[in-house]
Amino acid sequence: MIIDRGGWSHYPTGRCNPHLFVQPAGVSVRKSFLLLVAALIGAPFAPGQAAEPSFVPVLRTDFPDPFILPVDDHFLAYATNSAGTNVQVARSSDLVHWERVRDGGRAHDAMPVLPAWAREGWTWAPEVAHVGASYLLYFTARERSSGRQCIGVARASDPLGPFTSDAAEPLVCQRDLGGSIDASPFRDSDGRLFLYYKNDGNAVRRPVHLYAQPMAEDGLSVVGTPTAVLGVDSDWENGLVEAPTMVKAGARYFLFFSAGFFGWPATERFSPYAMGYASCDGPLGPCTPAAANPILHSFDTRDAGCLSGPGHQSVFEARGRWFLGFHAWAATSECRPADARRYLYVAPLDLSGPAPVIGMSLRPGASN
């Protein structure tokens, strides 16, 4: 896995160690010019305080499980419930400068009213697809009757909502497997729609898998039976895979996913949350996890800076290029937990080869 540090106008030039994110945290990265200048002027280089960090947040507010949707000449990002909303939304014209959408003095809620089957306060991981004349919001919420997290879909004519659903039941809910979360829609090049999701087995000490299931043309229902396309197969996943994102680039299918516990316990040096991918033969698999996984994980080095718990990715194409959105935990200058917020990051993503290549993240203040 190569981390590319050049080519996009909002991030610096140069190149990272190609093994930065597949080696244990703390591996050194060569940026000899910057280090030489620092040595000459006596400037200290503390962990987490790199002069040119590899990843810088573009939105410094609590914005977990982000999903980014290109809309005409701008971008909308949706995130897990926070700030008194079910589905919070942010807007950007350039992927670098973001602001949360507000209704007067309050944060905008893209889905202010949940369907009857869902309980308030547990609305997670929203993703939006443009299907026909409608925008469809796929989300996770707590089912009143079972207490499980389940998947729903709501519809709106505007990507800002309000998204509404009169469904009496969830779209998908594997109650006997712990529930279902992290719904992600995918349209193949032939026009077929699929829904990817995770059974929430870790909530009930059951095995966890990622599933793919065909959808009806209108995107409002699933058809057939789900296919398990990925399970836990490596120690770094710590018994948990989630947040599936299927992408087709050329003839290649990539299934991105996150793994491990999402939090940052005070007793741990880093959050164990990390990101991997699998190569798939088609939208229903089979899928083979990459030997280089995880492709993005926590680190703290004097050269590359600090990142803790990167994951729950969003992969999207805009203006002829691929990008990767994800969250990571807010950290102090010493790379310790700052508070309970997860910030939004956006980085260029090269999918032209057999393995994804992540660039240095976009950042405010860089030259255009």
Q: Degrees (nearest 5) of the Cα angle 69, 75, 81? A: 65
User: How far apart are alpha carbons 109 and 161 in whole angstroms?
Assistant: 8
- Nearest to 101, CA basis, from 90, 93, 112, 110: 90
pLDDT at 57 over 80: yes
pLDDT of residue 125: 99
**Sorting pLDDT into bands at 50, 70 and 90, what band is 36?**
very low
Q: How confident is the model at residue 32 (pLDDT cuts 50, 70, 90)?
A: very low
**Which residue has better confidence, 302 or 10?**
302
What's the rounded mean pLDDT across residues 242-261? 98
Q: Report the percent of the chain where pLDDT is more than 90.
A: 82
State pLDDT tens for residues 204-251.
999 999 999 999 999 999 999 999 999 999 999 999 999 999 999 999
Please tell me the distance from the alpha carbon of residue 294 to that of residue 273, in angstroms, as a whole number. 10
CA distance 283 to 3: 27
b/e per residue, 154-173, with b = 16+ CB within 10 A?
bbbeebbbbbebebeebbbb
Q: What number of other Cβ atoms are within 10 A of residue 307's Cβ? A: 29
Tokens of 203: 């909530």
Sort residue 297 into left (φ over 0), alpha (ψ -120 to 50) or beta: beta
Residues near 81 by beta carbon (within 8 Å), at least 6 away in sequence: 87, 88, 121, 122, 123, 124
The count of other CB atoms within 10 Å of the CB of residue 184 is: 26
Strand partners, 71: 74
How many CA within 13 A on the CB side of residue 196? Answer: 26
Q: What is the mean pLDDT of residues 48-52?
A: 63
Mean pLDDT of the residues in the chain? 88
Average pLDDT of the segment spanning 279-291? 99
Give the three-state DSSP class for 237: helix
d(CA 101, CA 110): 10
- Region 67-81 average pLDDT: 98
Name the DSSP class of 40. Answer: H
Decide: 213 and 222 in contact? Cβ < 8 Å: yes
Give the pLDDT of residue 250: 97
pLDDT digits (tens, 9 = 90+) for 110-169: 999 999 999 999 999 999 999 999 999 999 999 999 999 999 999 999 999 999 999 999
Alpha carbon 57 to chain centroid, angstroms: 13
pTM across the whole model: 0.88
Question: How is residue 347 written in tokens?
Answer: 């980085």
d(CA 238, CA 229): 18
Share in percent of the chain as helix, strand, coil (round to 5):
5, 45, 50
Task: List the catalytic residues.
Answer: 65, 242
Query: Which domains can be identified in the chain, with CATH numbers?
Result: 3-359 (2.115.10.20)
Q: What is the model's pLDDT at position 83?
A: 79
Query: What is the rounded distance in angstroms from the CA atom of residue 5 to the CA atom of residue 24?
Result: 20
Distance CA 324, CA 361 (A): 9
Q: For 162-204, how does the pLDDT look when each residue is reduced to its tens digit (9 = 90+)?
A: 999 999 999 999 999 999 999 999 999 999 999 999 999 999 9
User: What's the confidence (pLDDT) of residue 18?
Assistant: 30
